[in-house]
Amino acid sequence: MSAVLSVKGLAVELATRRATAYILNDISFDVGPGETVCLVGESGCGKSMTALAIMRLIPEPGRISAGSVSLRGTDLVQADVSQMRRIRGNKISMIFQEPMTALNPVYTVGDQICEPLRLHQGLGREEARQKALEILQSVGIPAPDRRIDNYPHEMSGGMRQRVMIAMALACDPDVLIADEPTTALDVTVQAQIFDLLREQQQRRGTAIIMITHDMGAVAEMSDRVVVMYGGRVVEEGMTAEILAAPRHPYTQGLIACLPELDPAPSDHRPDLPEIPGIVPSIWNRGAGCPFADRCAHVMAQCRKAFPPSFQMGPTQKVACWLYEDQS
């Protein structure tokens, strides 16, 4: 399967008077047509920064310092500002984490959906409005002819998230990035959003990059998983492989922390496991494995150098010195 989007050796740094912090280091993965790849990890691991780097939306003084992001042969890292304006929202779109802050409160949702249609597809005002109505209906907004003139504050959280999806899909992008698309939504609405994304993906053949810390969402939505920690990729592979046999100690910890239904009486239920410690500061990562201070299997070489990626299965790769002699 040829990749729609290919990220190779992506690095992002933040240069200040104090020092230079390396936020992302050597991030690489591909996304094929109609495929869903989940970027997984706890807060501070670099998932959202990876999405912003792909979209070329990194706020200053951050910058992409190395690597490439190829969208059907076009390197987005090398693209100029005008070229990115033509691509962003057209060929590649993003659903941001919090729709209430991502949507403009002083414009109706119809105006905000029509904007990319008029900008990228050259539609007139009435044509854009008609297509916006069709898109709102396709994402399950009831009474779209009335809702199209609503402002964001007049809609529920679930409906605002559907509007964000409608905006992102308006121009039939090749790649859709969904950054925690169900954050702060109740479980019923979460299931509806996942169903909606799957339905739209099947209909349009869109490649999806989903950012999440929810392993349940990973199991439900993804074809492949990229596990990130401390601005690096520590494990990747097909979802079934990763969930059945996680190799990296961090991935094992993430899966072990998942709550399970326990038929035992409540007073005999074991405590939910946790990964001790916190994600290291971007100013204090060093040259070794960023997970070393939290890892029960840490060795001397873990603190000296980040390991290469060892092949452990048909698609599974893990960056951990434990597997140096097993690959």
Domains of the chain in start order, with CATH, are: 5-91+171-259+273-323 (3.40.50.300)
Between CA 87 and CA 2 the distance in angstroms is 20
pTM over 0.75: yes
pLDDT digits (tens, 9 = 90+) for 222-236: 999 999 999 999 999
> Which of the 8 DSSP states describes residue 223?
S
pLDDT digits (tens, 9 = 90+) for 257-268: 776 645 555 555
Torsion region of 9: left, alpha or beta (phi above 0 gives left; psi -120 to 50 gives alpha): left
Phi/psi at 120 (5° precision): -95, -30
pLDDT digits (tens, 9 = 90+) for 156-191: 888 898 899 889 988 999 999 999 887 767 788 788
